[in-house]
Structure 1
Amino acid sequence: MKLKSKQGQVWASVVASAVASLAISGVASAQSQQVEVVHQWTSSSEAYALQALKDGLQKKGIGWKDSAIAGNDGANQQQALQARLAAGSAPAAAQAQPQLLFSYAEQNELTSLDSLAKAGNWDRLISPELIPYLKYKGTWYAAPMDEHRENMFWINKKILQKYGDKIPTTWDEFNALAEKMKKDGIIPVALGGEDWQEAEIFSDLVIGMGGPAYYRKAIIEHDPAAVQSPTMVKVFDQLRKIIGYTDPNRAGRDWNVATQMVIDGKAGMQIHADWAKGEFLRAGKKPGVDFVCSATPGSGHAFIWVLDSFAFFKQRNPTAQADQVTLANTVMDRDVQENFNLRKGSLPPRLDVPQDKFDDCAKVNFSDRAAASKVGAVLPSFIENAALERDIRAAYVDVVTQFVNTPSMSSADAVKKLASAARNN
């Protein structure tokens, strides 16, 4: 929803004032000023990455009021933030995935960033696949912080060496390796008990067993014919096998606790997005030495992306508005994006950030993203609130959850339920 022209003029005036102030003083406003930011980043690596943004903001004379709300893949944050919006006490900014951003924009709660985007040339600087998910009806409402790759998995290097040091490139090879680990008393796959972690594996199987075109049909377009195909039956068959490689104590386990199991050698592998790498790095582990990273079997160059951005909520106070400008520009600062994403395990949304400081895992993802973009294989995650509207996302996740927690449910029955969800949404 576009803002009225008068509101746009006010924001443009705020931008001009902030720029003038920076030119004169070299800092934004008084050191006592703060911006409140609501987010869900609370793991060790997430907090470390976020410090890069806090430090960048502090250099500009603005403090950070932290409102971290952990749990349930961001759902707890969403509920708390929605309550605040209803009460008329919006923070300056909040971490927002695409479908949530659209929801806030529909509620007319956000301030346009068009002036900043134009001044900063965001349309040319930011990865093109992300731009439609940072705008709503043509207006910029968010500044991107990172671009993760969802379809990845991680292996403890010492454990892998016991079995020939070969990374599985097919799901049959994955199963063979997992069976060997299981026979030797090693938990093959570390997994938490949250529904989104299970659905993330399902998503990776769809891209790995069906390919990008099938993922687009079955997930993004939720086409009933694609959903009911033999490929989807095979996806659920393989999901059942993977669940059988996990341990029975995973209920309630957070994703980063599962990652720690691989770090400690208590489990061999984790199928998870590349924010898992941040935990390895924070623990002092090195890729290729202590752990191995790879796209999930069958993925090839296909790149399922996850986007974290900051949405900016309307503020009445002119000082608060000026501080928002400073925060948005700090999010988009090239050095801040480099430092943040080096720590987080992700890729910078800015295309001009140098790659030389990034590790081999990231360089594979830079290369795969570039290759995938040429063939339409850079695709949005549905788990992380991008590819699907929230109601159809919830319907898909519910089916996966039922299947995972009902051993007697056949793959054919799961496909029927998924097809029903696709038809009804």
Structure 2
Amino acid sequence: MISKLLLAATTATALCFAAYANAQEVKGEVIHQWTSAAESAGVKVLAQKFTELGGTWIDNAISGGPNARSTAVNRVVGGNPPAAMLFNTGAQFVELQDNGLLRDLTDTAKADNWQNKMPAALLNSGVVDGEIWALPISGNGANWFWFNKPILDKIGVAKPKNWDEVFAALDKAKAAGLTPFAPSGEPRWQRLMFNAVVLAVAGRDTYDAVIYKRDASAVRGEKFKAAVKVFEKLRDFADAGTPGRSWPDSTNLVISGKALMTQGGTWLNGAFAAAGKTAGTDYECAIINPEQGMVISGDVFLFPEPKNAAMTKAQDLLLKAFADVPTQTAFAVANGTIPILKGADTSKLNPCIAEASRFFNDPKLSTGSDQMMFTPAIVGAVEDAITRFANKGGLTAEQFIEAYAKGLSAS
């Protein structure tokens, strides 16, 4: 009798809980680092679709990728995970997956046909042992240079396409009393800029040998050394405010006409657009020595192993929103990044993103970023070497090359 009563009570409680859960809001907390004006506009697109599907978006925007990821990881490990969290493409999430802290998305990917909707390079960046653990959300070209068009016109220079033209433009800007180059001084973006120089100067074969094969002999080779010299020369044109400066602040210097050039990925296009600027009129964009191709990078959403049915439902709605073709396309246009889903309407892309999309979708014209190929330990080691070389008074060129070569075997 007691057993029957306990069973009845347990069943009734479960039914009440299920009814209660179904009646509750489907809340989805999303941790991300998208805080610039353009990035925030992109987030609104995703949040709006989630809301339309019946969810309540809980936004947790944290400035700086490392800060956002650290917060997310601490939450997951501490047993209080968000519904979704933004990471970069690459091996950043593997430790979480190894410890059973992430939701396996393989069945969702098969049901929604991700294989035929997304570029293989991005989708494969979230695959471990044949299972899918990450949903790509954005694609970028990382090796672009951005120019203030009125300054180019003032100094009588066309958009540079090679290094001779770049340095000629920087010389003329400096002679005119203008700031020639305003790069970001944060370590991650210094590493990105160095990669852009390596690909453009040393060429695709050397770049791929270093990034894909971790070939220390290629780092010590003459072509890599030539790239180091160009990076050093470029560094010498940077303004005094460079150390520690964020990419939005660097971009604003070009947008406002206080500097001729900056460097960064296609997400900078979103910053120009958010400021009401028009490509070809107010600014120019270029890959230097474009025949060497474009460095692909991107962002992915990870979904922690759900704690309950409500969290599972929230994640299901987020997955549906993020993989919706019109939504992802609208997000990319607002965010200034490349639409990554096949079937996207590309008619509204401006010239910079349209050109980046052409590179992005041609395997012969695109190659992976170091963060997609390196372990976090190697990324940290080479980034430290680049930072010490990028800041004047740090490593010499010879010391830097050796530090970078040794960094490829970091563990």
Q: TM-score, normalised by structure 1?
A: 0.88
Corresponding position of 2:369: 381
Match of 2:137 in 1: 145
* Mapping for residues 17-416 of structure 1, pairs under 5 Å: 32-71=25-64, 74-97=65-88, 98-295=90-287, 297-300=288-291, 302-371=293-362, 373=363, 375=364, 377-382=365-370, 385-407=371-393, 409-416=395-402
* CA deviations over 1:156-192 (Å, ceiling 9, x no partner): 1101112334111111211111011111111111122
Q: 1:144 to 1:370 in 2, by over 3 A?
A: closer
SS in structure 1 opposite 2:329? helix
Matched, 1:418 2:404: yes
Contact 1:146 1:307 in 2 (8 A): yes
Give yes or no for contact 2:388–2:394 (8 Å, CA) kept in 1: no
- Closer/same/farther in 2, CA of residues 48 and 31 from structure 1, 3 Å limit: farther
- How far the C-alpha of 1:31 sits from its partner, in A, is 7.9
What amino acid is aligned across from residue 272 of structure 2 in structure 1?
A: F
User: Secondary structure of the equivalent of 1:386?
Assistant: helix
- What is the CA–CA distance in structure 1 between the aligned matches of 2:300 and 2:408, rounded to whole Å? 28
Task: Single out whichever of 298-307 and 351-360 deviates more from structure 2.
Answer: 298-307
| Separation in 2, partners of 1:132, 1:272 | 24
* Residue pair 2:337, 2:353 contacting (<8 A) in 1 also: yes
CA drift of 1:30 comes to 6.0
Deviation of 1:33 (Å): 2.5
CA contact (8 A) 1:129 1:378 kept: no
Gaps of 5+ in 1: 1-28
One-letter identity of the residue aligned with 1:38: I
| Residue identity matched to 1:342 | V
Once the two structures are TM-superposed, the CA of residue 127 in structure 1 deviates from its matched residue by: 0.8
Q: Is the 8 A contact 1:36 1:91 kept in 2?
A: yes
More moved, 164-173 vs 265-274: 164-173
Amino acid at match of 1:346: T
Partners of 1:188 and 1:269 within 8 A in 2: yes
**Aligned AA (1:65):** I
Tell which deviates more after alignment, 243-252 or 55-64: 243-252
Which stretch of the first structure deviates more once superposed, 306-315 or 159-168?
159-168
SS in 1 for 2:120: coil
Shift of the 301–415 alpha-carbon distance from structure 1 to 2, 3 Å rule, reads closer
Distance 1:359 1:30 in 2: 44
Q: Deviations over 1:351-407 (max 9, x none)?
A: 211211111111111222234x1x3x422212xx31211111111111111112243
Whole-Å separation in 2 of the counterparts to 1:272 and 1:157: 17
SS at match of 1:251: coil
Question: Matched residue of 1:130: which SS?
Answer: helix
When normalised by structure 2's length, the TM-score is: 0.91
The code of the aligned residue for 1:364 comes to E
Per-residue deviation, residues 97-118 of structure 1 (Å, max 9, x unmatched):
2312223211211111122211
Counterpart residue identity of residue 175, structure 1: F
Q: Match for 2:58: what amino acid?
A: K
Distance 2:73 2:47 in 1: 24
Taking the aligned partners of 2:115 and 2:286, their CA distance within structure 1 comes to 31
Q: CA deviation at 1:424?
A: 4.9
Query: What is aligned with 2:17?
Result: none
Cα distance, 1:144 vs structure 2: 1.4
> What's the secondary structure of 1:349's corresponding residue?
coil
**CA shift at 1:421, angstroms?**
2.1
Distance in 1 (alpha carbons) for counterparts of 2:247 and 2:206: 27
The letter of the residue matching 2:397 is S
Offset at residue 78 of structure 1 (A): 2.1
- Report the secondary structure of 1:304's partner residue: strand
CA shift for structure 1 position 199: 1.2
1:408 shift after superposition? 6.5
Cα pair distance change 1:109/1:219, threshold 3 Å: same
CA contact (8 A) 1:302 1:369 kept: no
Corresponding position of 1:19? none
Do the aligned partners of 1:151 and 1:299 also contact (CA within 8 Å) in 2? no
Q: How many residues align?
A: 390
1:18 aligns with: none
- Unpaired runs of 5+ residues, structure 2, are 1-21
The CA distance in 1 between the partners of 2:153 and 2:77, in whole Å, is: 55
